[in-house]
Structure 1
């Protein structure tokens, strides 16, 4: 067994020897209290040191403001851990001014936004790589998974999208008629309903609804699988989560968004035409003929071009947030909320970009 812990003084240097562990310290802490001036502490002769021994030496050296030398690599690591833990505990945080707190929260939000944007761009790249791998190896394409997502994203959403589109068309027609009646131009309500529905609101409201339904579902499903370690198990058996989970959902959203947007726009035209018939006494035949005259085909093209881009960004945002779930079930709810907010925000940003771009190329 190692000798008990001892020390000796030599011209301002205190040299420890023996076993600096709890079982062998003995009266060492009391004897250290009687030591005078100390310039340095030498631990090169010790046989062993544990957390308690490191604590005793650290407090002794700190009291005399003396450096500690001679420890092995492992001993130095243990000593550093003890030194780092010797910090006062703050029971109450320091009071911070309101301006400083707001500035700090803004800074945290900016940093979080930057990290999220960087992660989302990287996730888009990973999805593109997975798509390339499936194109090179078509047998890895999961057709059944894509068809299943067709039902989740598309068929199950037709009812709520139809009702929403019908009501939006009626609201646009009603509000337009009220305002245009002041100028005796109620007939231009048809122009308003047709162009606004096909060019902007039909696809935009569809994207928002899909983000709320499917984007949140993607995040919750993948987040739950991440929490139960199913995704880790897939990687273990050689199955790529990007190809098995993310790619089918993204492809389903990209393919179905143009169809859903077109469906919503058509139902919105029906709603607007019905209200025009009831309140403005414009027959359906006249309404349809006027729509064909005043709505250029480019408005339909714009909606169909934007739709798959919106679908891709919604699906990728939902899957990305699902992949970020860690630790506990609370993360599933938080990430699901983030997926919806992020998807809707990106859709609106992209819609503004498309509006400027199409106006710039002359599709007015």
Structure 2
């Protein structure tokens, strides 16, 4: 694949897909320590046929974005939280965590090197950043690797869900995203591999994606395919599911704070699939999705419609506007939320 050039892009009409940009970042753990990482023009990864990741799935990853500001600068949004989550995911898979300070520095370095590919302010597009760690030590028996690779790729993307802030339809799934006591709270590849089939079935049936219920009782909402769930009650309160098998979303953590600032009494709590009537609005939230309204959820053949199937509700719009303005640098957020990337 040829390297992309900035002039190749129609920034207003980007999909959510991969482009091979000029630079990535790469570091390796061997001989008991992380070696010095560096930028690389090589977008391929070499490993042994016996690498742990190929057989036992020892892999964790992250997703964050770089945003072009109105003044031409570039913001990251809470990268320290991504660094900490990757550290927790790595520990869950017995991988040597990549140091948090080096993670943030590496992200800044690779964004700066690819700064021409950070989409223009106002285009609705961003530079998506995908850091990941893989076990590359050679294994045949089931045990952790002793060598790892840390890599960051970046690619410009448009909205994850086409149509922008437009409600979409979801359906509950008989499949589980992750086991109770498993790796649901970690951002690891196995969780997503298991979601491919239920997501594909839902899309073939005309839905945007699935709603996963808790793996023990199949009664309580866990996550949406690829994003966390939130609901707005009829009296304007913000609720989101609480469970040990839910991925701790940085977007969710941020919206809990914003909702509190708005006086929406945010709460992480158990939400039964049978109690959807309490909500006037609902949505998906995550780095890729940002905020995407949920127009309806179908469960056991019964369709529940929220505020509208065509228009975002007023609370959802309000939350989206506030979060987007912070991410794009139009409004000041809490300390540490906006991190400037020094450009050349």
What TM-score results when the alignment is normalised by the length of structure 2?
Answer: 0.21
Q: Which has the higher contact order (CA 8 A, sep 6+)?
A: 2
**Quick check: which one's helix share is greater?**
1
> What is the TM-score of this pair, normalised by structure 1?
0.20
Q: Which has the larger radius of gyration?
A: 1
Structure holding more strand per residue: 2
